[in-house]
Amino acid sequence: MRISVAADSKDGVAERVVSELRRRGHEVVTHGALNDGERDDWAWACELAARDVSEGRAEQAVVCCWTGTGASIAANKVPGVRAALCVDAYTADGARKWNDANVLALSLRLTSDVVLDEILDAWLEGRPSSDPADVANVAHLDAI
């Protein structure tokens, strides 16, 4: 899978997200502090990763900033993106299952290596629910 990754700094697990996704066999496109020459401010970097998803250059994205909040807000401004700030595997699984989230937002401050692995396992193994209520909710997001 092609996954776009953005971070506003190389603190915390920023670089490890890239290496771990590549180790798992994914093609990774980088933005912000992870890509020399690009603007590394969170709003700009995370927008680029989200646009990769919305415009079909990537199937999913991972966006990171110190708290993860700004990264998720920036990504969610892009039409067609459903970004979820996840601090544990349960939240990541639920975001994929019930919200059909296509952008994972992470806190560089709170995410440890162990928790990152658990989140990525849940996120990458997660599949959207086919329950009619869940499908209707996701469809309504597009209509808002």
**Mind giving me the DSSP string for 29-89?**
EEEETTSTTS---HHHHHHHHHHHHHTTS-SEEEEEESSSHHHHHHHHTSTT--EEE-SSH
Cβ distance 83 to 69 under 8 Å?
Answer: no
Is residue 46 annotated as a catalytic residue, yes or no? no
Choice among 46, 64, 65, 86 that is catalytic: 65
Residues acting as catalytic residues: 65
